[in-house]
């Protein structure tokens, strides 16, 4: 399924889309982008399997529950519509097929049910960490059958995991009629801003793992007006024959673990002229305390009122509420999923649902 081709045809018919338009876009033309959405269903079965993003980060020894709040939207929708049994599935961390007590979903289940009424909580069952079973990451049909058993509908509301060919992402939709959830739909709606951006369109890509980010850099050199590169990618790009007039590599400071002051100033100037901004990946080795460049980008973006899309993962942890609460800022729950969607125009989770949509 190539969602973007549909987008281009429809945007021509309805006029150039902008940020505010995407926030209030018609259900008629938006649902054409995706195979099936929870909000488009007129009736629901009594039992539903719901895939949520339960891989909650731990901050200062406590679970950060902000990601859980987005998943509650689909769960409460199902319960409010009269679904009698919702089985919630998800994962935490990388236990590699082994039971790891520290990665149990029991604390997440308790936090989730505490946000429901006692009557609603009785209708919700949260299964243990999917990745305790090696079959999850192997996309094993036997696990897919076990998960699907007894349910009449599958709802994928885990955008952040939907670029992975895992059982709960692509195996289950092969068995059950499927839709995307409310948060997943919101992710796509916001990410479409990068497909029809106001210009100048500035993209900042940081972090590491050139093998995963090179496709995005290449595609964004075609779509954006300027592509800025920071973080370890500055060094990693030296080993790739990628040269483009729109591509600007920053410089590292003396430690080699963060961007320099000159690069911060250069990137700030580009942000000041931008009409649309996409940012994915930190500017330094933040896990070791090299926060200067990343924090400088956060400060610069606070001054901007243009549409801003920020990738999840390592970047999300270092944002602050002053930035994320701005109405023009959208923080994607997916790091790798956002990269895949922006570079390929789809993710495998969407393609799986397209083959067996519920409506």
The token duo for 263 is 């690069």
**Structural domain includes residue 85:** yes
**Structural domain includes residue 210:** yes
Claim to verify: residue 149 and residue 212 sit in the same structural domain: no
- In the 8-state DSSP scheme, what is residue 78? H
Q: Which residues pair with 202 in a beta bridge?
A: 226, 277
CB atoms within 10 A of CB 154: 27
The token duo for 66 is 């902000």
- In the 8-state DSSP scheme, what is residue 126? E
Claim to verify: residue 160 and residue 250 sit in the same structural domain: no
**Structural domain includes residue 132:** yes
Distance CA 355, CA 15 (A): 29
The residue with tokens 């924090």 is 295
**Structural domain includes residue 312:** no
Distance CA 217, CA 224 (A): 10
Distance CA 25, CA 109 (A): 34
Sign of the C-alpha dihedral computed for residues 333, 339, 341 and 347 taken in this order: negative
Claim to verify: residue 165 and residue 209 sit in the same structural domain: no
Phi/psi of residue 63, nearest 5 degrees: -65, 135
pLDDT by residue (tens digit) across 160-185? 999 999 999 999 999 999 999 999 99
Claim to verify: residue 24 and residue 154 sit in the same structural domain: yes
For residues 332 and 190, the answer to whether their CB atoms sit within 8 Å is yes
**Structural domain includes residue 313:** no
CB atoms within 10 A of CB 126: 19
Planar angle of CA 97, 157, 310, nearest 5 degrees: 95
Claim to verify: residue 30 and residue 174 sit in the same structural domain: yes
Q: Identify the CA nearest to 155 among candidates 143, 131, 172.
A: 172
Residues 6+ apart with CB under 8 A from 275: 197, 198, 199, 200, 201, 306, 307
How confident is the model at residue 312, as a pLDDT? 63
**Structural domain includes residue 328:** no
**Structural domain includes residue 336:** no
Q: Identify the CA nearest to 339 among candidates 319, 315, 355, 318.
A: 315
- In the 8-state DSSP scheme, what is residue 173? G
**Structural domain includes residue 37:** yes
pTM of the model: 0.82
**Residue ranges making up the domain that contains 19:** 3-189+346-355
How confident is the model at residue 196, as a pLDDT? 84
3-state class (DSSP) for residue 87: strand
Claim to verify: residue 127 and residue 240 sit in the same structural domain: no
How confident is the model at residue 25, as a pLDDT? 36
Q: The domain that contains 205 carries what CATH number?
A: 3.40.50.1260
Claim to verify: residue 220 and residue 283 sit in the same structural domain: yes
Claim to verify: residue 210 and residue 247 sit in the same structural domain: yes
How confident is the model at residue 245, as a pLDDT? 85
**How many Å is the Cα radius of gyration of the chain?**
21
Q: Which residues pair with 49 in a beta bridge?
A: 87, 154
How confident is the model at residue 313, as a pLDDT? 66
Claim to verify: residue 31 and residue 67 sit in the same structural domain: yes
Claim to verify: residue 135 and residue 7 sit in the same structural domain: yes
CB atoms within 10 A of CB 193: 23
How many domains does one find in the chain?
A: 2
Claim to verify: residue 153 and residue 271 sit in the same structural domain: no
Distance CA 32, CA 28 (A): 7
| Chain centre to alpha carbon of residue 305 | 22
All residue ranges of the chain with pLDDT < 70 are: 1-35, 241, 243, 312-314
């Amino acid at each position: 399924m190539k969602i973007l081709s549909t987008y281009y045809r429809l945007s021509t018919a309805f006029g150039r889309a902008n940020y505010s338009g995407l926030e209030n876009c018609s259900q008629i033309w938006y649902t054409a982008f995706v195979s099936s959405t929870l909000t488009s269903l007129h009736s629901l079965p009594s039992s539903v399997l719901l895939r949520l993003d339960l891989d909650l980060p731990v901050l200062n020894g406590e679970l950060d529950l902000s990601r859980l709040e987005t998943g509650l939207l689909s769960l409460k929708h199902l319960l409010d519509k009269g679904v009698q049994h919702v089985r919630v599935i998800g994962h935490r961390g990388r236990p590699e097929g082994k039971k790891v007590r520290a990665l149990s979903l029991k604390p997440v289940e308790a936090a989730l049910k505490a946000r429901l009424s006692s009557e609603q909580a009785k209708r919700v069952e949260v299964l243990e960490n999917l990745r305790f079973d090696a079959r999850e990451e192997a996309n094993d049909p036997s696990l897919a059958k076990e998960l699907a058993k007894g349910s009449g509908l599958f709802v994928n509301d885990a955008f952040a995991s939907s670029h992975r060919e895992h059982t709960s992402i692509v195996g289950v939709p092969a068995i059950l009629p499927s839709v995307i959830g409310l948060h997943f739909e919101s992710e796509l709606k916001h990410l479409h801003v990068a497909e029809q951006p106001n210009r100048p369109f500035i993209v900042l890509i940081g972090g590491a793992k050139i093998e995963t980010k090179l496709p995005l850099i290449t595609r964004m050199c075609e779509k954006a007006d300027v592509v800025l590169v920071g973080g370890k990618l500055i060094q990693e790009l030296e080993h790739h024959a990628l040269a483009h007039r729109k591509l600007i590599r920053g410089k590292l400071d003396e430690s080699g673990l963060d961007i320099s002051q000159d690069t911060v100033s250069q990137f700030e100037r580009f942000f000041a002229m931008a009409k649309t901004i996409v940012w994915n990946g930190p500017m330094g080795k933040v896990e070791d305390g090299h926060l200067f460049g990343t924090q400088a980008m956060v400060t610069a973006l606070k001054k901007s009122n243009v549409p801003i899309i920020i990738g999840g993962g390592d970047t999300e942890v270092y944002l602050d509420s002053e930035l994320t609460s701005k109405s023009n800022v959208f923080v994607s729950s997916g790091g790798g999923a956002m990269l895949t969607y922006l570079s390929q125009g789809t993710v495998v989770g969407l393609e799986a649902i397209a083959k067996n949509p519920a409506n």
